[in-house]
Amino acid sequence: MKGKAKRSKVKLGVPVLVMVCSLFFFTGLFVSPMLFNFQDFGDVGQGQPWSRLLQESAAKEYGKSGDPFLHSIPFQILSWRPRIVYFPNFTTADVCEKIIEMAKPKLEPSKLALREGETVESTKGTRTSSGAFISASEDKSGILDFIEKKIAKVTMIPTSHGEAFNILRYEVLQKYDTHYDAFDPFEYGNVQSQRIASFLLYLSSVEAGGETMFPFEDGLNMDIGYDYKQCIGLKVKPRQGDGLLFYSVLPDGNIDKTSLHGSCPVIEGEKWVATKWINDKKQHY
């Protein structure tokens, strides 16, 4: 009788075990994605599970102006000459689309900072995109403020040193010939503030063309009579949500001659990018 009772328990336990296992499986399958579907503009900082794990194991004492948590922002160094850093998935596609819609009604033909002796007519065709300047303070949704603060974190330069976002659209065949973002006093005269770094947030992917190019990367092509209209050297293909940071000046404050860059012509599709220029002095706008 005892043997029969034991066998009876085994028979009853198998279906129960299967049901329990199935419950855990489907719970993990359907509930986990909901738990990790954060709507915080794509940040990877405070509040996310891996961030909490980092806090528990490695968080340090911080000062009054610091953060009480660690950040996990993936990056890749693309070049040391010039210093170029790539940030995959810096923000979400939804954020990118909202910034595009924000800029569309304000677009105007892009302008140039003219060197001494240059005119609008003599530089016609150098930069053929359209764009709009929008500051974070103008954006009531808080999206640009969020992006601006995240850029400050990866550059370690306060938001007060950034210019308003320049939201740019490049249509088919539109481009920006190679140039420096920093202002050489010998070409532009006395400058009140110097652009030391640039952050590009790609708001759209491009089917063909539209790469950000650095023809002098690692000192290449600097002594071959380089044609500024060519798309050669290190080229970064735009991908929606990705960020690109590069420095226009060296640590000693001199302009980095390898930071020459441009935007290759769009061959197919449309290129949208939000540019944040970062200066050595506080900006007022």
pLDDT digits (tens, 9 = 90+) for 198-249: 999 999 999 999 999 999 999 999 988 878 778 999 999 999 999 999 999 9
Three state DSSP letters for the chain: CHHHHHHHHHHHHHHHHHHHHHHHHHHHHHHHHHHCCCCCCCCCCCCCHHHHHHHHHHCCCCCCCCCCCCCCCCCEEEEECCEEEEECCCCCHHHHHHHHHHHHHHCEECCCCCCCCCCCCCCCCCECCEEEEECHHHCCCCHHHHHHHHHHHHHCCCHHHECCEEEEEECECCCEEEECCCCCHHHHCCCCCCEEEEEEEECCCCCEECCEEECCHHHCCCCCCCCCCCCCCEEECCCCCCEEEEECECCCCCECHHHCEEECCEEECCEEEEEEEEECCCCCC
Q: Does the structure show a pLDDT above 60 at 84?
A: yes
Q: Does the structure show a pLDDT above 50 at 187?
A: yes
Q: Does the structure show a pLDDT above 60 at 40?
A: no
Average of per-residue pLDDT across 174-196:
89
**Where are the chain's structural domains?**
76-279
Res 35: pLDDT: 36
Superfamily classification of domain 76-279: q2cbj1_9rhob like domain (2.60.120.620)
Res 18: pLDDT: 52
| Residue of higher predicted confidence among 68 and 235 | 235
Q: Which of 205, 196, 207, 199 is nearest to 251 (CA)?
A: 196
Q: Tokens for 9?
A: 């328990």
Would you say the C-alpha torsion 43, 46, 48, 54 has a positive or negative sign?
positive
pTM score of the predicted model: 0.78
What's the residue count for the chain?
285
Q: Check if the beta carbon of residue 164 is closer than 8 Å to that of residue 103.
A: no
Q: pLDDT for 118-128, tens place per residue?
A: 454 444 455 67
